[in-house]
Amino acid sequence: VRVLYPEEVSVEANLDVVGVGNAIVDVLAPVGESFIVEHRLDKGRMALID
């Protein structure tokens, strides 16, 4: 891995960057068995939240 410092970076072209869409982020949250039972959840299940 080479780290570039600002004085080493040279940009000669103008760039336009556009991003469209949503980032997908995984959140893993450890909880106890009682939480799973109380909220009627299935172990190991994941859900996409829009």
Instruction: Classify residue 7 as exposed, middle or buried by CB count within 10 Å of its CB (0-12, 13-18, 19+).
Output: exposed
In the chain, where does DSSP find H-type helix?
Answer: 33-38
For the record, the structure tokens of 8 come out as 């080493």
Taking the complete model, does pTM exceed 0.75, yes or no?
A: no
- Segment 21-49 shows an average pLDDT of 87
First to last CA, the chain: 36
Per-residue pLDDT band for 24 (boundaries 50, 70, 90) equals: confident
> Which of 39, 16, 15, 19 has the alpha carbon at shortest distance from 29?
39
Q: What is the pLDDT of residue 21?
A: 79
